[in-house]
Structure 1
Amino acid sequence: MTKRQTLILLLLLGAQFTLAVDFSIMNVAVPVIGRELDFAAENLQWIATAFALSAAGFSLLFGRIADLIGARKVFLAGLVLLTLSSLAGGLVDDAGPLLAARVAQGLATAMVTPAGLALLITAFPEGPLRDRALGLNGAMLSAGFTCGAILGGLLTDTLSWRWGFFINIPIGILLIVVTPMLLKGGSRSTGGKLDIPGAVSVSAGLIA
């Protein structure tokens, strides 16, 4: 593995780990958030579910968009959205805006995850190096889910649940700055169309 490939791997794994952490980092803080923002008890689960539904429902759509306009563009756009939505989520004082921030974080995940996987496959030729990179990618996702719960508890106990959002800001800015330096634009597909009704119907089905 070349030095450049190592740096690309660290960049992409760092992004995937951050997204996996986001999936579970707020779960531990749900009771505290509910008390501070006057969430109705029956609506507390939406703090986690709003993120998961938007991430799952739109991953295929943004994966197709990455094919059409380039994976790096979608990857960067997702990182920008993650950073801004994390800032907004940490500053809100009402239940509605908090859930909107979680939906935006989920959409950012739906953008970064397939685009990052495409960039990972492009950066490593087929063979042992790609297999190793994909294996590490899966391991980082699994580790992120576990670390998110632990980190969420630590931040809530020592600082505030808001730091579950704020912690993404410096990481997001770093990734946004480094990405253009390391990653090429990548190839694009020609033809085809976006299945927006499909993405909406998948999300609606999951919500139902």
Structure 2
Amino acid sequence: MPILLALPRLPLAAAVPATDRPAGLMARETASDADLMRWSAAGDRAAFAVLVERHGERALRIALRVLGDPAEAEEVAQEALLRAWQAAGRFDPSRAQVTTWLHRIVLNLAIDRTRRRASAPQAGEAALAALPDPASGPEAAAVEAEERAALAAALAQLPARQRAAIALAYEEGLSGAEAAAVLDVSERALEGLLRRARLMLRRLLTP
């Protein structure tokens, strides 16, 4: 089932200047992310809605992988989108892609929340339980369920940044450079996060 994320309730903004206004909906649908962000900075809610449609689902998935709780993940994703709208005028396309910038906001909010909540050790189980399973027989399904539960419990014990690195590099399929940019670390530091995560998972999952 696809994840749907509604456009957050945005504060009022000034109208888009005529010289900077897209010709219509088609112009927005085919515009680059950078142009949509520029129009959003000028107050174009429709342009920002296209950005939400393009990238909101992944933002929600990333938050879900880190937090493990769908309700919390939706709150974080909505807050991240609202902050992106409010900070659209400060976005610099020469320094980062829109997706990198947005996903960094999501991750920072999600990681901050894991540090504040008392139930952090349980993070990850609900997210993994929501992943689709291939069709299988009863015995195979039971084995898969047991393996998923073990993996969920192991992932839940990882630090939030390691869970985030795994989500970006393995589940979302980002390149090393892209995942490192979202986490605001070097590629070497990302490799270190992934290596430590794999080692810890191996220790936890080895009988």
TM over 0.5: no
Greater helix proportion: 1
TM-score (normalised: structure 2) = 0.30
* Higher gyration radius (CA): 2
Greater relative CO (CA pairs within 8 A, separation 6+): 1
